[in-house]
Structure 1
Amino acid sequence: MEERLVISMIQCFFIAFGVIMGGTLIGSIGSFLTGEAPLTSMFRIAKGLRIWAIVAAIGGTFDAISNFERGIFEGSTFDLFKQVMIIVAAMGGVQAALFVFELLLGEEVT
């Protein structure tokens, strides 16, 4: 069971990382084509995609909520622990992508 948890965490990390990186890069191309400043829009887009990257990484369904419910009401603590770790891994992917943008652009994404 632990192997599947580690695999799920790695996948969630990179899904969230990819949503931020890809969404921000493609979104900034759209900003460039409409005459806006691409670097400024990259920060705005990255900030707006943070929660959506986490939702995409955990599957975007109510599985996380049902696992929390099962963990709390049925005493299945492993399901609760697993969901928390997957969400933490997704948050790590988001923060890693924002860190890459901070390194590339030289400004802090707030």
Structure 2
Amino acid sequence: MISKVSQVAMAAKDYGVLSTFQLSVFLQCAEKQGLGVFDIFGVEPGNPEYSTYYGAIRQLMLGASNRGYNGANVLCWGDKLRGKERALLLTPKGRRFLKVIQETLGS
């Protein structure tokens, strides 16, 4: 089991996912793909915890132009759900990463 977890961690690094928190956020977004941040994590936009999740989500996206688009590019925004909230989706790279995780863990 430990070797499988370490293989997932190595794959995460290869795909640009740099921390266990980012990996956790990615897996939650993959599990509930097509929902918004509130629906996935259950935190309101005014909550400080929301900013933590939102920051991790942005790092898992393409990244910021002022940082040379250094994000992992495994998540992207989808269509608007309500108001300003948009759905979170996996990019093709994100789907490949999820497939690697599933094959590694055998699920």
The structure carrying a bigger strand percent of its residues is 2
Superposed pair shares fold, TM > 0.5 = no
Structure scoring higher RCO (CA < 8 A, sep ≥ 6) equals 1
Q: TM-score, normalised by structure 1?
A: 0.28
The structure carrying a bigger helix percent of its residues is 1
